Structure 1
Amino acid sequence: MKRHLLLLFMCFACFQHGFSSTNTRDVSALKSLSKQWKNTPKSWGRGDPCDDRWEGINCSDSSVTELKLFNMDIRGQLSTDIGDLAELVLLDLSYNHNLGGPLPASIGNLKQLRTLRCISCNFIGPIPVEVGNLLSLRILALNSNKFTGGIPASLGRLINIQWLDLADNQLNGTLPTSANGSPGLDQLVNNEHFHLNQNNLSGPIPSIFFHSSMNAIHILLDHNNLSGEIPQSIGLVKKLKVLRLDNNSLNGSVPSNINNLTAINVLNLANNKLTGPMPNLTGMNNLNYLDLSNNSFDPLDAPAWLLDLKQLTTLIIESGNLHGEVPQAFFSFPRLEEVRLNNNAFNGTLNMGSNISQELQMVNFQNNDFTSVTLSSNYNKIIMLEGNPVCTNDQLGKTDYCGQQKAPASDSFSSTCSHPYEGPIICRAPSFSNIDIKAKTDSMWTKIKSKLSEFPITSNLGNSFFDGNNYLQVQLQICHNKSKYFTRNETLVWLDLSTQNLNLSEQYGPCFFNPNQYSYDHKGHRGLIIGVVVGSAAAMFIIAGLGTYAVRQRKRAKKAINLNNPFASWGSAGDQDGSAPQIKLAKYFSLDEIRKFTNGFSKDNEIGAGGYGKVYKGILSDGQIVAIKISQKGSMQGGLEFKTEIEMLSRVHHKNLVELVGFCFEKGERTLVYEYISNGTLTDNLSGKKGMHLNWKRRLNIALDSARGLAYLHELAKPPIIHRDVKSSNILLDDDLIAKVADFGLSILVVETERDHVSTGVKGTLGYLDPEYFMTQQLTAKSDVYSLGVVMLELITATLPIVNGKYIVREIKMAIDDYDAEFYGLKDMIDPALMLNTGCLVGFKRFAELALQCVQESSENRPTMNDIVREIEIILKDIELKSISTSSSATYFGNARVAFQEPYDELALSSGVNSATVNRSDEYLLS
């Protein structure tokens, strides 16, 4: 009887909740969003959004005012229904890496919106002009997506905006201003943060963009394609603290009034085409960080104004056309930490004096003309003098000062829990250098711990470094003290580390936290769901006698469990060794869906075939084009490689790594679904099979892209990953000839106990295989460096590593001629296609030397992948400075007719052995 009463009470409670107190339009909008998304919080759909406190929802007066679902692993697209939440004040969908598609124009209906954050999602297409209707907006953060097109001029109507972050997208065109009477960014007088860096913006910076009414404190325009002169009006922005214009194509003289920016503490104009006199920075007494490197300023003695900048921590003027002697007084600045004046023409005697700052950790004067050096006995930090005449005489020739010295590496941390909430804090203009980063991040940690102190969690910082963009990245790890996993609600309430909450800009410049996609404990939720379903079914059976309904529900629950565990049958086949794959982000597709995507495995959709099986071009239900690789019986890639690939690729997310969209494991079928890469393998493109001509600059960019992807695996993946099969056939080129590293079937995770190396059986491809790994069976990240070095030699010669018994590494080492400044003795081995329509190969010798450093027999003598990234970036900047033609990097050969083949033909995405069509008769897979 009591049980019956309890069930009746449950039904009465459900009946009560049938009356919603939330605005019906908001309820309808939320339910519509929920239907189109996957992985919404489990509370969604139960009862009333406001009364029953759906996770991520806050309400006021029966209207939804906050929708905060960051890092919930939501998948799908943002539908037009978002525009129906008319009272919304805050919308935060950040860090949902599989939430994408276009941003709907209906978002412009949210007239009450004050904060819009969609950081590090997968949004594409143009930013809707309707965003300019959000006149109440204070914070607009759309950084780290894939937005294209121009910056909408309508954003100039956002008169209340204080934080505008559109960085790290693919935006192009010019900076919109009100010069022609339309809205423009110059009208955002209250905005403190213009973060437009890492895009493809072009054209000159309009003079009207800067003016005396601006309240801007951070202007980031670095890493774009801006040209023309820096406007004179820059001197009017008196509150400016950070100005980054580096890595563009700006030319002409720096405005003489730039020293009016007396509040500035970070100024970076490096890697442009600036000419004329080096700017006089007298009066910029708050300047901490200065970089004027790699421009074409007039020759100049060490400028006198340097002695006025007593707050400097970092001075970088590489290749600055400076000469004369360096004044002793400069080295006594109390805060000075790092000086990089390499590649200049300083001469005479380097005398740093005896009153050297205690903070000074490194001085780099490589490649200058010092004939003698007076060293203080009380200074024992890093001094780099390689390339000076003083290193050829008996005074210093055999000392460490004339060798390759490296700054000490930063400390990393080991995981203190099995499922941490973690990712990098990215600071884009810190006021210090890359020396002793750990000490500099102490105050960051103090602020974060204070922010999180009220919750039962532990945080750690570690693995700090400056990346290729000169941004500081600091890994943050947060562990739950009382549970193995964070719940979704705990994440939303405890771990809101948005930029404004971090409040780090004073010392570190504009920062943001970019956490990895978090994998929640689905098992507990599944048990809860099953319990609710069974309980509800029983109640309905007792009250209404709907037994058949309960049976149907149980069948559906069983089907749902099978879908949630696609590897239930793992191990039934002989080649499926070990435990079932552990997947984080990849989507599971059924075999029926795969058939639908490929039009029933239509012959017309077949785009490749090889040892693994067949590759089909497919179209998902959302319109995304994919490449679907389907195994065949007797495939050379077994269950272990299949498992490795989906586990590895589901962990990583980087623009230079091929993205795994999903997989299918059903009825013994092993199917992988990748993003579609249109221009095939590097092997095919170098051979001419694709009918394309890759010029010198494009080949350097391909090497840079590949190194960036691998550096991400080595440094940022948690735990780190060693690829183990880097080769030109595993590097794919997209529509824009951006390189993406593919095929993770042989990859290995590096656990903390094997930080130096992994002892494992030898696998890889002969010709690319690290000989030290082959001999010792000890795999390191430097093994990938060796393989990439071989690929770099391939880029030079367009020759496979082993041809007719000749090994490319040995052949090039034998041909080297140090006295050949232009071609390094390799002219006869250079791909003839590189010499077409080209005057000279700028940086060729430097690139060849870098490649040979990578293929040193001892791993200790090889650079790291991050070293490779930085070196190639410098070479590319030299090309820009010397005005090398940047005409189309991919053109068809003359009038020859070349049949275009689909990019996955002959295993563009293959694992293990290369296709027979590639004709690598001397190459095979070691196992």
Structure 2
Amino acid sequence: MYQSTAWTYGIFLTSWLCWSSLLTGAQNSITHPEEVKALKEIKRSLIDPNNNLRNWNRGDPCTSNWTGIVCSNGTSNDGYRHVLKLQLMKLKLLGNLSSKLGRLSNLTILLLSGNQLTGPLPKELGYLPNLNILQIDENNISGPIPVSFANLNKTGHFHLNNNSISGQIPPELYKLPSLVHLLLDSNNLSGYLPPELSKMPQLQILQLDNNNFNGTTIPASYGDMSQLLKLSLRNCNLQGEMPDMSRVPKLLYLDLSSNKLNGPIPPDRLSENITTIGLSNNHLTGEIPINFSGLPRLQRLLIANNSLSGSIPSSIWQNRTLNKMENLTVELQNNELSNITGSTDLPPNVTVWLQGNPLCSNANLVQFCGSKSEGESKSQSPTNNTLLCSCPPSYEDSPISDGCACAAPLLVGYRLKSPGFSDFLPYRFEFEDSLTSGLELVRHQLYIDSFEWEEGPRLKMYLKLFPVDNHFNHSEVQRLVTLFESWKIPAQPPIFGPYELLNLILLDVYKDAIPTPQRSSLSKGALAGIVLGAIAGAVTLSTVVFLLILRRHVRKTSAISRKRRASKASMKIDGVKSFTYGELATATNNFNSSTVTGQGGYGKVYKGILVDGSVVAIKRAQEGSLQGEKEFLTEIELLSRLHHRNLVSLVGYCDEECEQMLVYEFMSNGTLRDNLSAKAKHPLNFAMRLRIALGSAKGILYLHTDANPPIFHRDIKASNILLDSKYTAKVADFGLSRLAPVADVEGTVPTYVSTVVRGTPGYLDPEYFLTHKLTDKSDVYSLGVVFLELLTGMQPISHGKNIVREVNVAYQSSMIFSIIDGRMGSYPFESVVKFFTLALKCCQEETDARPSMAEVVRELESICSRMPEADAITADHMFTNVAKVVTPPPSSSSSSRVKYPYVSSDVSGSNLVSEVMPVIKPR
């Protein structure tokens, strides 16, 4: 064993010394050492589950092909290359953004989209003087936008959408002189809309949908933005009157829907270029202004679910002449409109929806008042790509040939992130012309294979670029790939907004077109000389260093061995058995895959049957798992002295060489998360969910008050709440738990523990995250998120949307019944409202605003006691009855029916909370 280890160390050290010599001799071609150091720190801040960053350990990023690193082509005045671009998109990376990003002072493009990054935005990003594109969208980033971002003088694209960013938009951002696109939609932003944003001289797109601006108004100054093309503030909890946008000369797209705007629609005429006007789901009154007529490019006019009255001017659609590629949709449902002025004949390609208005009592208007179809397909293929030739694999019939010609295309996934239209077909030829012009191709070389509208709305498309002959030559492939991957395609018309490359697939014929970068620019002779010169010293020095390393290794191994023996000795606790590896292997048929019941960051969980016949769950750590020795010992020490019917019981453990296993009582119904998923075989009804909530709360209350000393769990989540055969909830996984603070010498007990932030994104107490102060209210917040999961079936974070914000928006809009989990069956209205109210109290951002766990338990018990058939909920055999749907007595005079009305979860739009409740789908 030692001989093998010595050989490994010797080879490693010799290789390292040789490479060090190479770097020394190639000083004029390597990256600045501070940037290399910063990049390694950045890597250490990330967690890469798929080994996507494997090349980040070798030498110089500019000469070692570090995936995602683009450096300057030549050397700078200081003799170094510098990192220009950092592109790590869609790699499933976890972890936080390192403040060391601020040391890459020459960085121009930072692309981290589509990962699972958490934590705050480092303020140091605001001191990158050359940054042009900042794109960290579709992650789980939280915390505020640093004020330092107002220093990004060269940034034109600011894309932070689909995260969990909170707090106020810094008004100081108005200082950004080059900003063109500001995309912050689908976050947790609050506060007010800064009127200062209207001072941005170049801003074209301001997209802030799906945030919560606390009932603030839209600044009137937004109507003075001379370069603005798109203003999208959908579902932002805005109120007040609609601003006058008639002074915005280039406006293409206006969406203010799903807010609380009131008053009339401003009468002045909007830009003739406008394609989309979205004002649905507000409280607008008055008449439909005539200024919506004669808009030559209008595609969507959406003003449904308001309180508009009077007549509808048919000139909105009668004055339009549409070609076969154009469509106009007018949605005016659920208003107080009484008639149509002018002709009621609809031109071709025009659709008008008016159901829910008084005028629909007129039998002559039935064409306007039918049910709106929900079956429209989002995915389209613009033309038929009929193959005329019998082409070899990967080759297709070329669209640029009149006859039969096979060619190999480049395959490109492409997305328009915020286009200024709602219907793509009228702009298809303009898009093809502009893209092929930027790529220096002819239009017939571009074929749009398909396109699809995604949530946002964003337009995803799949493109094929065809060569003039049967395939592109290598230099042409390199040129096109560089244009796409380096963001060097000349600017397209502003109506198409910002774009992003989703993927670029090279067929086999093009695989050799992209060469592997060389490690060094040195000649072979110089390289050989340096290597030979290094070997002589390396052999001698490696021997000396190896002996020192080996000596230290032996000492360290001996110390660890003594520590592990001491740990094992301390774990000889009554009621907790120490199992051998052989015993647990026998219980699981040698850890057969058929006995696996779950898997997480720690490892796999197996169902085992011990010699005495008892069924257990065995959690086996895998090599490199996220749970280490400390968490392993913590869980054993805590569970050995915790005994409560709502806490999972520890049966024993195994801690032999290279094996760490925990043995628990077996929970036959799995995790709460599994039971809330769409794949659950037996959906939980409301009574079962309420009982699970109460059991979980009681378990945590025991930790906070009856455990000695008290314990903060620190990782409450739906996957850590297990259900036994009777659906009794039991809290599990205490590896991250911390003991509550104890009294100091003066008898004062601190209210918090200062600790490194640990937990699961989506469940993490925001105040604990910001202050590192862990309290009992941190567990309250996490449990509140679980309550919201029980009520809605949603994930805590999904596609950048946060469950707390989503429920808050629906609750404040009196639309909570639109987001209730449809698999819950019937439920009592009053109990559901109280449960929602309690859950949101638990999820308050401020610690002091949350109830204690004792108050949570009392409120849940109160809700249970007022439930119909409350005795079934509290009885141990309740699980056999909860699946039944309780139907109220048939008599309308029944007091129980009035007091405890049951509501079907299928009725997503009803007047139970307010007189008008528009139907919305859960986001």
| TM-score bin, normalised by smaller chain | 0.5 to 0.7
Q: CA deviation at 1:116?
A: 0.9
Partner residue in 1 for 2:240:
228
CA 1:599–1:125: 2 relative to 1, 3 Å: farther
The 1-side partners of 2:189 and 2:717 are apart by 21
The 1-side partners of 2:667 and 2:783 are apart by 25
Q: Does 1:96 align with 2:150?
A: no
Q: CA deviation at 1:203?
A: 1.3
Q: Does 1:815 align with 2:893?
A: no
RMSD, aligned CA: 6.3
Q: CA deviation at 1:732?
A: 12
CA 1:733–1:603: 2 relative to 1, 3 Å: farther
Deviations, residues 26-79 of structure 1 (Å, cap 9, x unaligned) = 122222222332326122131112232322222223121212222233322222
- 3-state SS, counterpart of residue 131 of structure 1: helix
Partner residue in 2 for 1:633:
664
Q: Does 1:407 align with 2:425?
A: no
Amino acid at match of 1:87: N
The 2-side partners of 1:878 and 1:729 are apart by 20
Amino acid at match of 1:17: L
Partner residue in 1 for 2:94:
75
Amino acid at match of 1:33: I
Partner residue in 1 for 2:40:
31
Deviations, residues 361-393 of structure 1 (Å, cap 9, x unaligned) = xxxxxxx21335788xxxxxxx8637xxxxxxx
Q: Does 1:242 align with 2:253?
A: yes
Partner residue in 1 for 2:70:
58
The 2-side partners of 1:228 and 1:409 are apart by 36
1:282-301 equivalent positions in 2, closer than 5 A: 282-301=293-312
Partner residue in 1 for 2:22:
16
Partner residue in 1 for 2:783:
678
- 3-state SS, counterpart of residue 108 of structure 1: helix
- 3-state SS, counterpart of residue 225 of structure 1: coil
Picking from 172, 190, 196, the partner of 2:190 is 172
Q: Does 1:270 align with 2:280?
A: yes
- 3-state SS, counterpart of residue 54 of structure 2: coil
Partner residue in 1 for 2:701:
none
- 3-state SS, counterpart of residue 56 of structure 2: coil
Which structure 1 segments of 5+ residues have no match?
178-183, 347-367, 376-382, 387-403, 479-489, 516-535, 560-566, 616-629, 650-656, 687-693, 711-726, 740-792, 818-824, 835-843, 854-867, 883-927
The 2-side partners of 1:796 and 1:473 are apart by 49
CA 1:444–1:80: 2 relative to 1, 3 Å: same
Partner residue in 2 for 1:385:
370
Q: Does 1:115 align with 2:133?
A: yes
Query: More deviation in 569-578 or 501-510?
Result: 501-510
Picking from 206, 229, 254, the partner of 2:219 is 206
Deviations, residues 599-657 of structure 1 (Å, cap 9, x unaligned) = 953799x7975375489xxxxxxxxxxxxxx98533224899999999999xxxxxxx9
Q: CA deviation at 1:237?
A: 0.4
Indicate conservation of the 8 Å contact 2:450/2:461, yes or no.
Answer: yes
Identity of aligned residues (%): 19
Q: CA deviation at 1:273?
A: 1.3
Indicate conservation of the 8 Å contact 1:796/1:831, yes or no.
Answer: no
Indicate conservation of the 8 Å contact 1:78/1:103, yes or no.
Answer: yes
Compare CA radii of gyration and give the structure with the larger one: 2
Q: CA deviation at 1:267?
A: 0.6
Which structure 2 segments of 5+ residues have no match?
1-9, 382-392, 395-410, 465-477, 504-533, 561-580, 604-624, 652-660, 681-714, 723-731, 736-758, 765-781, 792-807, 825-831, 845-862
- 3-state SS, counterpart of residue 678 of structure 1: helix
Query: More deviation in 76-85 or 184-193?
Result: 76-85
CA 1:496–1:551: 2 relative to 1, 3 Å: farther
- 3-state SS, counterpart of residue 905 of structure 2: helix
Q: CA deviation at 1:332?
A: 1.4
The 2-side partners of 1:582 and 1:424 are apart by 37
How many residues were matched structurally?
A: 629
Amino acid at match of 1:148: S
The 1-side partners of 2:285 and 2:157 are apart by 37
Deviations, residues 819-848 of structure 1 (Å, cap 9, x unaligned) = xxxxxx88733556x9xxxxxxxxx9xxx4
Partner residue in 2 for 1:371:
363
Indicate conservation of the 8 Å contact 1:120/1:514, yes or no.
Answer: no
Partner residue in 2 for 1:865:
none
CA 1:594–1:217: 2 relative to 1, 3 Å: same
The 2-side partners of 1:299 and 1:103 are apart by 50
Q: CA deviation at 1:194?
A: 0.6
- 3-state SS, counterpart of residue 107 of structure 1: helix
Indicate conservation of the 8 Å contact 2:311/2:340, yes or no.
Answer: no
Q: CA deviation at 1:153?
A: 0.9
Q: CA deviation at 1:583?
A: 7.1
The 1-side partners of 2:249 and 2:275 are apart by 12
CA 1:203–1:250: 2 relative to 1, 3 Å: same
CA 1:100–1:37: 2 relative to 1, 3 Å: same
- 3-state SS, counterpart of residue 236 of structure 1: coil
The 1-side partners of 2:865 and 2:167 are apart by 32
CA 1:608–1:308: 2 relative to 1, 3 Å: farther
Partner residue in 2 for 1:829:
897
The 2-side partners of 1:640 and 1:204 are apart by 44
Deviations, residues 761-803 of structure 1 (Å, cap 9, x unaligned) = xxxxxxxxxxxxxxxxxxxxxxxxxxxxxxxx99996767977
- 3-state SS, counterpart of residue 339 of structure 1: strand
Deviations, residues 392-435 of structure 1 (Å, cap 9, x unaligned) = xxxxxxxxxxxx9653566799xx99xxx9999686677457xx
Amino acid at match of 2:338: H
- 3-state SS, counterpart of residue 277 of structure 1: coil
Picking from 633, 640, 646, the partner of 1:610 is 646
The 2-side partners of 1:237 and 1:160 are apart by 19
CA 1:113–1:852: 2 relative to 1, 3 Å: closer
The 1-side partners of 2:489 and 2:867 are apart by 52
- 3-state SS, counterpart of residue 96 of structure 1: coil
Q: CA deviation at 1:812?
A: 2.8
Indicate conservation of the 8 Å contact 1:162/1:192, yes or no.
Answer: yes
Indicate conservation of the 8 Å contact 1:438/1:462, yes or no.
Answer: no
Amino acid at match of 1:49: P
The 2-side partners of 1:829 and 1:127 are apart by 50
Partner residue in 1 for 2:53:
41
Partner residue in 2 for 1:785:
none
- 3-state SS, counterpart of residue 238 of structure 1: coil
Q: CA deviation at 1:89?
A: 1.2
Amino acid at match of 2:58: R
- The TM-score, its normalising length taken from structure 1, stands at 0.54
Query: More deviation in 36-45 or 578-587?
Result: 578-587
Partner residue in 2 for 1:148:
166
Amino acid at match of 1:16: L
